Amino acid sequence: MSLQTLDLGVDARIAGLTLTFHLGEVTAICGPNGAGKSTLLSCLAGLVPPDTGHIAFGGKPMESLRHDVRARAIGYLPQSPEVAWDLSVEVLVALGRLPWRNAGRGEAQAAVDEAIAAMDLDAFRHRRVSQLSGGERARALMARVLATEPSWLLADEPLASLDLAHAASLVRRFREQSDLGRGVVLVLHDLAMAMNHADRVIVLDKGSLAADGAPEFALGSEVVERVWGCPARWVGEPGARALSVG
């Protein structure tokens, strides 16, 4: 099922965006601070109602979907997620199974175990959230999203709190999810990560679409200079490129 925005407008944050996201792709949303990236992702998750236009899921208006259907289909990780209770990692991750409450216990536990393993959290399974570092907490929250087994994974700056090894591991997990036929949409400030690992890059600037396409096009030196306002050039081979600025 495709995920679409049709002439989407939100206050002064987004203006007239029409985009189609596809299953089986890793899409990176990039842009300067205040470009509308997080707002767009929140709209795709059905959390921020647009002022104009609408979101379509599988050709149907997002607002027409039952809440349980949407909760099973879309997994969303905000930029600054909060944990209201001091739960263990295992219980926190298990909350991702709430949309599937009618599924069997064995199926639910298998999904939780797989998500914990995917985020390298087996040693922290029984540790309380308050006892985790920032990076460990971020991994636990990502595991909660993975445990839902959604068709769409939407994550806002998911690499921000992670060390190099766990960031690289999570990028591999996103690729694995995409290869399984899920849609992955990430807000990224790290342009090199987007260039090297995304199938498609959407660049926003002041709420409008500045570029959309393959990373080599959407993050070309001319686009980076125009949108971010600094001279830039890419160095290195495809798949291992670095951005030199200034």
pLDDT, one tens digit for every residue, the chain (246 residues): 789 999 999 988 999 999 999 999 999 999 999 999 999 999 999 999 999 999 998 888 888 888 888 899 999 999 877 788 899 999 999 999 988 877 777 888 999 999 999 999 999 999 999 999 988 998 999 999 999 999 999 999 999 888 899 899 899 989 999 999 999 999 999 999 999 999 999 999 999 999 999 999 999 999 999 999 999 999 999 889 999 987
Say how far apart CA 182 and CA 24 lie, in whole Å.
5
* 57: number of Cβ within 10 Å: 22
CA 48, 53, 59, 60 torsion-angle sign:
positive
The domains of the chain are located at: 3-80+150-245
Burial class (CB in 10 A: 0-12, 13-18, 19+), 82: exposed
Which of 188, 228, 227, 189 shows the shortest CA–CA distance to 210? 227
User: Check: CATH 3.40.1580.10 for 3-80+150-245?
Assistant: no
Q: pLDDT value at position 162?
A: 87
Please state the pTM of the whole predicted model: 0.92
Contact between 30 and 73 (Cβ < 8 Å): no
